[in-house]
């Protein structure tokens, strides 16, 4: 497995993560579009650079400039949809080889490779699920196979006996990584991290579509 700070981004993504975390901390600093420097609303658009996995904060006007196929940056449309018909049981989870109860899965558009990201103390750890197991999961659950590469992910919550499966925009995954990185304590995160995970998914359900 590979330890990475955010997803696979560098300074730009780290800055974006700090901004995500500051929203929950009640920060009042002015945020600006990373393309035109316009002042941003607290809940604003995001652009993903697929090659580097960097996430950029953007105003709506700049985000719309990249809403076409082949753009160097890709607009991330907000999405949070619980997949009620998807259930990865203990046996299925074991075949994937993912050693954690919280992970998000996203496909690289350029290569078609699937990666699982495990949020933790250092950001997120990337690992490759077993290819044949992932193929079987997608065949059994078409809703997972329909998730577009790069900009969306399958987010799975199995902490403390939970069994939740979500189709979410990648910015929500980055936000979860940022928040956990701030409060993670010890090898397993500690009670504060576990409470944060529970609260994150409760809030996700409150704003979910579908």
For the stretch 114-142, pLDDT in tens is: 999 999 998 999 999 999 999 999 999 99
The whole-chain average pLDDT of the chain stands at 83
The count of other CB atoms within 10 Å of the CB of residue 171 is 23
The alpha helices in the chain, defined as continuous H runs, are 11-24, 60-65, 90-96, 131-140, 142-145, 170-183, 190-206
Q: Which two tokens stand for residue 14?
A: 């780290």
Convert the pLDDT of each residue in 62-119 to its tens digit.
888 876 666 778 888 889 999 999 999 999 999 999 989 999 999 998 899 999 999 9
Convert the pLDDT of each residue in 11-29 to its tens digit.
444 444 455 554 454 455 6
Tally the domains of the chain: 1
Express as a percent the part of the chain with pLDDT over 70. Answer: 82
Nearest in space to 46 (alpha carbons), one of 81, 17, 25: 17
Q: What is the largest CA-CA distance in the chain?
A: 49
> Higher-confidence residue: 59 or 9?
59
Residue 49 falls in which region: left (phi positive, over 0), alpha (psi -120 to 50) or beta:
beta
Q: Which two tokens stand for residue 182?
A: 């701030």
Instruction: List Cα–Cα distances, 50 to 72, 75, 150, in angstroms.
Output: 8, 11, 6
What's the DSSP call for residue 160? G
Q: Give the pLDDT score at 142.
A: 93
pTM score above 0.85:
no
Do 104 and 153 contact (CB within 8 A), yes or no? Answer: yes
* Spatial separation of the C-alpha atoms in residues 148 and 170, rounded to whole Å: 11
Q: Give the pLDDT score at 28.
A: 54
Q: Out of 20-29, 108-117, 161-170, 193-202, which region has the weakest mean confidence (pLDDT)?
A: 20-29
Q: What's the domain range around 118?
A: 2-206
């Amino acid at each position: 497995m590979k330890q990475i700070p955010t997803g696979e981004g560098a300074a730009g993504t780290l800055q974006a993560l700090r901004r995500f975390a500051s929203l929950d901390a009640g920060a009042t600093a002015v945020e600006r579009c990373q393309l035109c420097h316009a002042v941003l609303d607290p809940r604003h658009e995001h652009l993903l650079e697929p090659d580097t996995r960097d996430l950029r904060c953007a105003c709506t006007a700049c985000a719309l400039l990249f809403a076409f196929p082949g753009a160097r940056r890709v607009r991330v449309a907000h999405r949070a949809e619980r997949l009620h018909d998807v259930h990865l049981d203990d046996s299925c989870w074991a075949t994937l080889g993912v050693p954690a109860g919280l992970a998000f899965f996203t496909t690289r558009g350029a290569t078609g490779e699937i990666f699982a990201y495990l949020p933790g103390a250092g950001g997120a750890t990337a690992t490759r699920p077993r290819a044949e197991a992932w193929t079987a999961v997608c065949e059994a659950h078409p809703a997972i196979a329909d998730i577009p590469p790069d900009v969306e992910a399958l987010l799975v919550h199995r902490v403390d006996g939970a069994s939740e499966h979500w189709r979410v925009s990648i910015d929500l995954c980055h936000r979860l990584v940022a928040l956990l990185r701030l409060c993670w304590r010890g090898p397993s995160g500690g009670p504060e991290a576990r409470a944060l995970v529970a609260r994150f998914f409760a809030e996700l359900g409150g704003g979910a579509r579908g």
